[in-house]
Structure 1
Amino acid sequence: MTTYHQRVAQQKRGLIVQAATQLFLELGYDRASLARIAEEAGVSKATLFKQFPTKAALFDAIVIDSWADSDDSEVPSVGDLSAGLTTLGQRYAALLGRPGMADLFRIVIAELPRFPELAKTHFAEGKLPYFEKVQTYLVAEHDAGTADITDPQMAATQFLGMISNYLFWPRLVVPGWAVTPEQVVTVVDDAVRTMVARYDHHGKPVA
């Protein structure tokens, strides 16, 4: 494909994903047909089927797009637990703050009784890769002797939970919930300081 055709295909893909997300929210996953999604996206059914032959493939794309980390290959270098966790925490906060993230969770929660596979896809293709990145970093800090983390899975859960419990989950249940950029910085900083106080190898208290 030429650069032009690649750009057009990417634009159409974006329109399809956007239309599908909206219709999944409005009609439910089951009732939102691929033909209706193509109509709402302003593309032909042939164009949609070429990129997404099934509705499941389209939902996979929504998940992957929502969780795509611009620094996907970057795991912080070891040696400074505070700096590394700050980087990971800020990235996580940015992911959770994306406009479509709350919608994605609403789709999964609403369809869980009838389509549990959507939740499995969401976890496997969405949060799990980022969770594993944090866990990998914590293992590296432990192996380097700079952090005392015997259960990296639990530590990663604690860290991401401190961030999401304030920045994200209230958005699903509290009307009008919003946080300022300054609050985001504070939430991530507090989570980092808590982790350092708990897991720093030397056990030094955070000032």
Structure 2
Amino acid sequence: MATGTGTYHQQLAEQKRGAILDAATRLFMADGYAGASLARVAQDAEVSRATLFKQFPTKASLFEAVVTHQWAATSDDRDTPEPGDLARGLRTYGRRYAALMSRPEMVGLYRLVIAEMPRFPQVAQTQFETGKMPFFRELEDYLRAEHAAGTARVDDAVLAASNFLGMVGGYAFWPRLMVVGWDPTPAEVEHAVDEAVATAVARYSVA
């Protein structure tokens, strides 16, 4: 019985956390970092202020959780490729990155960071360190593994990862911030990923 009770309380806590993150995401996007209040987050999430402050005692900690949550949005079907097939591995990372960056919430998050950066530089630092960097480092590690396996020659994994994600993001994400109506189809995004993969394979693959 105790185990069942513990599981129930854990599930309830996870549901409340999810409701808080969803409400916080909406409010950050709508009102900006400065305008979003923790009291309003608690109200919209239908939780007590005590519950909110227990999990997120500051606005900064809540924003960090929102960023982490958004970057982990596709982690349920996450496939970490093994070295040995550079094209397959890059395609896995490229498609995952394109899917993440194409989400409306991610576009809104970046717009928020750009708008708030002059007044709150920590929001940009949070977005970079807790959001993009873990993904970026995972791709770096994969490229180093391919290099160690002898299937690719990647002398600078940081530059290689940056160039590859830049090719994908240059089509799938960045125009969304500036070009009204930019909304490529899934097939067009997949084609852009495949072109980035082909370019990287031509540069780094060992025949």
TM-score by length of structure 1 reads: 0.90
Q: What residue is the counterpart of 2:168 in the other structure?
A: 163
The Cα offsets for residues 69-116 of structure 1, whole Å up to 9 and x where unpaired, read as 516985321111111111111111122123311111111111101111
Q: Secondary structure at the match of 1:2?
A: helix
- Residue in 1 aligned with 2:63? 59
How many Å separate the matches in 2 of 1:183 and 1:136?
Answer: 28
Mapped to 1, the partners of 2:79 and 2:18 lie a distance apart of 25
| Identity value in percent | 57
Distance 1:17 1:54 in 2: 13
Distance 1:75 1:17, change over 3 A: same
- In 1, Cα distance between the equivalents of 2:165 and 2:24? 28
Structure 2 CA distance, aligned partners of 1:189 and 1:145? 22
Aligned length: 202
2:29 counterpart of 1:25: yes
Is residue 37 of structure 1 aligned with residue 41 of structure 2? Answer: yes
Bigger helix fraction:
2
Q: Residue 14 of structure 1 aligns to which amino acid in structure 2? A: G
Residue aligned with 2:194, SS: helix
8 A contact 2:90–2:197 mirrored in 1: yes
- Other structure's SS at 1:100 match: helix
1: CA distance between counterparts of 2:192 and 2:142? 20
Q: 1:117 aligns with which of 119, 122, 144?
A: 122
Query: What stretches of structure 2 of length at least 5 have no aligned partner?
Result: none
Match of 2:19 in 1: 15
> Equivalent residue for 1:153?
158
Structure 1, unmatched stretches of 5+, are 203-207
Matched, 1:105 2:79: no
Instruction: Summarize the Cα distance change of 1:179–1:58 in structure 2 as closer, same or farther, 3 Å threshold.
Output: same
User: Taking structure 2 as the reference length, what is the TM-score of the superposition?
Assistant: 0.90
Tell me, yes or no, if the aligned pair for 2:79 and 2:92 is still in contact at 8 Å.
no
Q: CA deviation at 1:190?
A: 0.6
Give how far 1:188 is off: 1.0
Query: What is the RMSD computed on CA atoms of the aligned residues?
Result: 1.8
1:130 to 99, 119, 135: 135
